């Protein structure tokens, strides 16, 4: 066994261990460091130990100036971006970085295609060409789609759709497949224009693929695009016979696919329905419950909310994107500790698709050192709501909307929600009555048990803590 092979085996093992450790916030940081250490070993092992056979001799990789120049520039940009990003913009960063992975896979395919043309004339390279085309298509779709997802999450790009767009998408996809099959079977060096036509169509398909998908479906789309990038990276591993690249790509692709399936199940929808149904897209607030005149909401004062929570036996907090926008996770944790000191049992109800990316709320609360055992998944939380005295909803909207269960005309009908109505009292903190990400009005706000507590989540939580201390 060569030293490079040993490096790859160790790196692959660290990826698996790191991925396992990411499943628990208590070990996630160390898991990330272990996987990063393995990746560092694989990178430097490839740079200094890899050799290729050419002209009868083994040659080292070389090009060290270009390689380390790219590593240094990329490291500086990545470090600065990660340190400066706000928690509210983390989904955008995930989409951006994921898109860069797809772009790299596509660029690798372009380089290897050029190598085939100039060094082998494509003779006996059908299998290799198929892998190159797969990497090109999947990487390009992932890159273009991730950039649109980034723009939509950042508010720079609006939902865009036109009549028959899904048919157009299918036609583009069929054209990509047809041209790829033709090029793989009838390859010749003078047909490069077909290769770059496939590239262009793949980029267009990536754009059209994500454009019409609604805001409420974006966490699923981000997860799906992440799996695409993993598969594209695995194709690069095939091209270079690089075991660690292949392993890493397969792990990312498999994990992303599994997460996508789990999130679709949590929304009670098929992946096809997510990609075609596009709830949260198109016209906002016109379907189902969003178009009904339900009267006025009932408000509650800070002092009344403080009294209700102070004398409760159990309080359940439901975090949402409003908590992230206000960066109120630390204030929320302080309120939780204050209530704990008064003998109140405090837990958090986490919906699988709350926020703008998978696990968004878990990341926010982990940053504030909220104990992991206090976080309840949807099924667990729904079992405890009937024995809960007060539910405090912080910026969550669609994931607590009863229309998902009661209104067949609602765009979110059928999506499992947090059954907060089963609690004795529901307090909803929002900055305004503006609809949630799915763009529809929330029936919950008008129910008898519900009271609205308007204001910025961070300030409201700080003022609540002050009021509770004075009781």
H or E element: which one contains 428? strand 425-430
Q: What pLDDT digit, counting tens, does each position of 82-128 carry?
A: 888 876 777 888 889 999 999 999 999 999 998 888 776 656 578 88
Could you please state the CATH topology (level 3) that the domain comprising 296-469 is classified under. Answer: Rossmann fold (3.40.50)
* pLDDT at residue 290, rounded to an integer: 43
102 HSE (CA, 13 A, CB side):
29
Q: Which residues are within 8 A (CB) of 138 and not within 5 positions of it... i.e. 6 or more apart?
A: 102, 105, 228, 229, 231, 232, 235
Contacts of 239 (CB under 8 A, 6+ apart): 108, 109, 112, 128, 131, 132, 135
- Ramachandran assignment for 213, one of left (phi > 0), alpha (psi -120 to 50 degrees), beta (any other): beta
Cα–Cα distance measured from residue 153 to residue 127, given in angstroms and rounded to the nearest whole number = 38
pLDDT recorded at residue 388: 96
Neighbouring residues of 176: CB distance < 8 A, sequence distance ≥ 6: 137, 198, 201, 202, 205
* pLDDT by residue, tens only, the chain of 471 residues: 689 999 999 999 999 999 999 877 778 889 999 999 999 999 999 999 887 666 666 778 878 999 999 999 999 999 998 888 876 777 888 889 999 999 999 999 999 998 888 776 656 578 889 999 999 999 999 999 999 988 888 778 877 778 888 889 899 999 999 999 999 888 888 888 999 999 999 999 999 988 887 666 777 888 889 999 999 999 999 888 888 999 999 999 998 888 888 878 776 667 776 666 554 444 444 334 444 556 678 999 999 999 999 999 999 999 988 888 888 999 999 999 999 999 999 999 998 878 777 778 888 888 888 888 899 989 999 999 999 999 999 988 888 999 888 888 777 777 888 999 999 999 999 888 777 655 678 889 999 999 999 999 999 999 999 999 988
Distance CA 269, CA 261 (A): 9
**CA distances, 144 to each of 174, 192, 205 (Å):** 18, 22, 8
Q: 229 near 255, Cβ under 8 Å?
A: no
Q: Tens digits of per-residue pLDDT, 346-360?
A: 999 998 878 777 778
Active-site amino acid positions: 398
Q: Where does CATH 3.40.50.1220 sit in the chain?
A: 296-469
């Amino acid at each position: 066994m060569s030293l490079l092979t040993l490096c790859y085996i160790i790196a692959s093992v660290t990826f698996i261990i790191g991925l396992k450790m990411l499943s628990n916030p208590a070990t996630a940081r160390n898991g990330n460091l272990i996987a990063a250490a393995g990746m560092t070993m694989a990178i430097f092992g490839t740079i200094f130990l890899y050799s290729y056979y050419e002209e009868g001799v083994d040659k080292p990789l070389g090009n060290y100036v270009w390689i380390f120049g790219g590593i240094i520039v990329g490291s500086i940009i990545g470090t600065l971006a990660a340190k400066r990003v706000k928690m509210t913009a983390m989904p955008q960063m995930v989409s951006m970085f994921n898109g860069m992975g797809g772009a790299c896979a596509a660029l690798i395919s372009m380089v290897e295609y050029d190598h085939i043309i100039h060094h082998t004339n494509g003779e006996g390279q059908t299998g290799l060409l198929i892998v190159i085309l797969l990497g090109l298509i999947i990487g390009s779709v992932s890159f273009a789609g991730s950039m649109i997802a980034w723009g939509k999450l950042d508010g720079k790009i609006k939902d865009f759709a036109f009549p028959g767009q899904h048919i157009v998408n299918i036609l583009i996809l069929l054209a990509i497949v047809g041209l790829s099959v033709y090029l793989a079977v009838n390859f010749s060096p003078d047909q490069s224009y077909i290769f770059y036509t496939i590239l262009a169509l793949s980029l267009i398909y990536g754009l059209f693929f994500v454009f019409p998908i609604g805001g409420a479906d974006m966490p699923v789309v981000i997860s799906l695009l992440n799996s695409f990038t993993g598969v594209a990276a695995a194709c690069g591993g095939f091209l270079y016979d690089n075991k660690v690249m292949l392993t890493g790509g397969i792990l990312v692709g498999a994990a992303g696919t599994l997460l996508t399936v789990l999130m679709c199940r949590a929304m009670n929808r098929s992946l096809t329905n997510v990609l075609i149904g596009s709830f949260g897209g198109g016209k906002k607030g016109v379907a189902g419950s969003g178009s009904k005149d339900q009267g006025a909401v009932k408000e509650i004062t800070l002092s009344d909310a403080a009294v209700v929570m102070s004398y409760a036996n159990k309080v359940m907090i439901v975090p949402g994107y409003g908590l992230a926008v206000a960066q109120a996770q630390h204030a929320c944790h302080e309120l939780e500790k204050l209530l704990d000191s008064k003998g109140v049992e405090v837990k958090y109800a986490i919906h699988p698709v709350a926020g703008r990316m998978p696990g968004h709320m878990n990341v926010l609360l982990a940053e504030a050192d909220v104990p992991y055992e206090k976080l309840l998944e949807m099924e667990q939380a729904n079992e405890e709501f009937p024995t809960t005295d007060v539910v405090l909803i912080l910026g969550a909207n669609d994931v607590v909307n009863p229309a998902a269960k009661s209104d067949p005309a609602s765009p979110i009908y059928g999506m499992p929600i947090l059954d907060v109505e089963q609690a004795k009292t529901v307090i909803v903190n929002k900055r305004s009555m503006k609809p949630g990400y799915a763009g529809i009005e929330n029936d919950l706000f008008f129910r008898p048990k519900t009271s609205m507590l308007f204001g910025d989540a961070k300030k409201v939580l700080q003022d609540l803590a002050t009021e509770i201390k004075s009781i």
